[in-house]
Amino acid sequence: MEMIERNILFRKLGAFAVVFASMWAFASCSDDVDEQFTTSEELTIVQFLNQNDSIYSDWVKVIEKSDIEGSLNAYGTYTHFAPTNKAMGKFLQELGISSVDDMEKDLAKLVARYHTLATSYPTTAFEHGVLADTTASGDRLSTSFGEGGLRSIMVNDQSKIVGRDVECSNGFVHTLDEVLRPVTKSLYDVIKANPDLGIFAQALAETGLSDTLTKITAGSRKMYATVLVESDETFKKAGINSFDELKARYSDTPNMKDKANGLYKFMHYHCVSGSVYSSDFISNLYPTFNDALINVRITNEIRINPLVGEDDVETSNGLNMDKVNIPAKNGVYHYLNDVMPFYQPDPVEYVFDLQGIRDMQPFRKPSNHRNVYFPKDLPSLDIQGSFDWFVYEANRGGYRGRDFFWIVSSGCSIEVETDPVIAGKYEVFISYGKAGDGTIMKMYVDGVPQSTYIDCHGGGYEEKSLGVFTFDETKKHKFKAEVIITPGRTVTQWDAVIFKPVKD
């Protein structure tokens, strides 16, 4: 898998309007696509592809062999990436077959679904990172931009968009010069297959993480992780030339699968729950597999564990932005610039966004799905009483991640468990939305009722202090919102818990 080049300074290309007229103009019966921006609003995606069979005939056969033809030929709001005949010829040659007729139906189904999203995305909505929605195969596609802006968009760093923004009656079509190869391997298998990561891959196996990162599902739930990796070259810069030398530096007990072992701690510190792509990172603390914390700060790059040393000079590790967003079926990995030792950062401002709870991530839907309901038996939630709750995407500013918990009821409660908070002294705030039918919340911290009530009645967005707390050890904390019975008021909008360090 080729690496994805990004420029963190341009997380979005910016908001500007592109006016589309009638249909794409094709200069000849070849794979060359003119960049004449037009629409095809009278045709469905399938009808458009069929009408231009000199460019898409082989791809149409793939769609016909899959299970998505009906969807792409009916009402909807899709994004479809369509490879040219030239791209398909190369793909078929790699498969060792001469025509789509020889392709197995299951493969055709997987490939077609991998090129299709259930949300309409014009290229002006693309980010340097990943598309918010998943494909019909349940995967995420990364996008990056060269110096040509919209004329140099790469998808998965595999395929260039050579024709963009055909607006059909049921979504957008973007033309590709290469077929996207579906990701089917686990994180461990992808890392192990990378010749740059021999030392790191062996360390994953020796510390037992290979088993964890091979799991794609646990029961009915998908398992996702993000791994920050050091290449063999990066280890070599630090004087580590083999796994044995890595072991000698960090392993301090005989059993490297023991939680107390130094190498075990080192490797688990490189793994974060959930798929966090480069465009997903914000300035915040991220808990690792051993509940230690990574301090991520976003400037003109993605920096990790910044430290102020002698002469007030700040140093930090960071992601190698030329080698980020390498996908696997159960997550993503990024290259680090330097070796990242186990480290406990000093207290910093930390936002616990309720919508970022790990247990919720397998059930998340794209950002334009307003009401996203979740099971009420998630381990990190304690729900009491009868009510509906869901995550709602806010169109107005203020909300962390532009979404929040929406609870519809009164006389009920919901308790959440945060990720680990660094030991220290903090002023703790509750952020929330206000509405005309907003309720009142009584708050509890680690089971202790607080004297401050949160009044969600009115309008806008607010942060309210619960007071100053001293946490003697780094650990998780529980926050409970008890919705007070308020006649005629049934809506609670709880957004986040914010920890702001207090200096003595």
DSSP string of 336-358?
A: BSS------PPP--EEEEGGG-G
DSSP H/E element including 462 = strand 460-471
DSSP H/E element including 64 = helix 53-65
Q: Of 415, 440, 431, which Cα lies nearest the Cα of 490? A: 440
Name the least confident of 71-85, 173-187, 377-391, 475-489.
377-391
Measured distance between the N- and C-terminal CA atoms of the chain, rounded to whole angstroms: 50
Q: How confident is the model at residue 19, as a pLDDT? A: 26
Rounded Cα–Cα distance for residues 423 and 427 (Å): 13
Which residues does 498 contact at the CB level (< 8 Å), separation at least 6?
349, 350, 351, 352, 428, 429, 430, 431, 463
Burial per residue of 212-241, b for 16 or more beta-carbon CB atoms within 10 angstroms, e otherwise: bbbebeeeeebbbbbbbbbbbebbeeeebe
Q: Name beta bridge partners: 298.
A: 302
Name the least confident of 5-19, 276-290, 302-316, 355-369.
5-19
Kindly state the average pLDDT of the residues 45-63.
96
Q: What is the mean pLDDT of the chain?
A: 82
Burial of 286 (0-12, 13-18, 19+ CB in 10 A): buried
CA atoms within 13 A on the CB side of 435: 16
Rounded Cα–Cα distance for residues 455 and 304 (Å): 37
| Tokens read off for 309 | 């040393």
DSSP class of residue 475 equals B
Rounded Cα–Cα distance for residues 111 and 172 (Å): 18
User: What strand order describes the sheet that includes 302-308?
Assistant: 284-287, 293-298, 302-308, 314-318
Residue 140 near residue 100, CB atoms below 8 Å: no
Kindly state the average pLDDT of the residues 82-89.
97
Band the pLDDT of 314: cuts 50, 70, 90. Answer: low
pTM of the predicted model, to two decimals?
A: 0.72
Rounded Cα–Cα distance for residues 422 and 350 (Å): 9
Rounded Cα–Cα distance for residues 226 and 236 (Å): 23
What are the tens digits of pLDDT across the range 89-122? 999 999 999 999 999 999 999 999 999 999 999 9
Residue 68 near residue 113, CB atoms below 8 Å: yes
Asked whether the predicted pLDDT for residue 390 surpasses 70, the reply is no
Residue with more model confidence, 386 or 293: 293
Asked whether the predicted pLDDT for residue 141 surpasses 70, the reply is yes
Q: How confident is the model at residue 370, as a pLDDT? A: 47
Q: What are the distances in angstroms from CA 114 to CA 31, 81, 188, 334, 353?
A: 22, 9, 21, 22, 30
Band the pLDDT of 367: cuts 50, 70, 90. Answer: very low
Helices (H) and strands (E) in the chain, counts: 11, 30
Asked whether the predicted pLDDT for residue 292 surpasses 80, the reply is yes
Asked whether the predicted pLDDT for residue 310 surpasses 70, the reply is no
Q: What are the distances in angstroms from CA 393 to CA 105, 313, 372, 390, 460?
A: 38, 40, 9, 10, 15
Q: Of 282, 363, 352, 382, which Cα lies nearest the Cα of 495? A: 352
Map out the domains of the chain with their CATH numbers: 39-176 (2.30.180.10), 187-335 (2.30.180.10), 350-501 (2.60.120.260)
Band the pLDDT of 223: cuts 50, 70, 90. Answer: confident
Burial per residue of 369-388, b for 16 or more beta-carbon CB atoms within 10 angstroms, e otherwise: beebebeeeeeebebeeebe
Rounded Cα–Cα distance for residues 311 and 95 (Å): 59
Residue 429 near residue 478, CB atoms below 8 Å: no
Residue at token pair 């000093």: 346
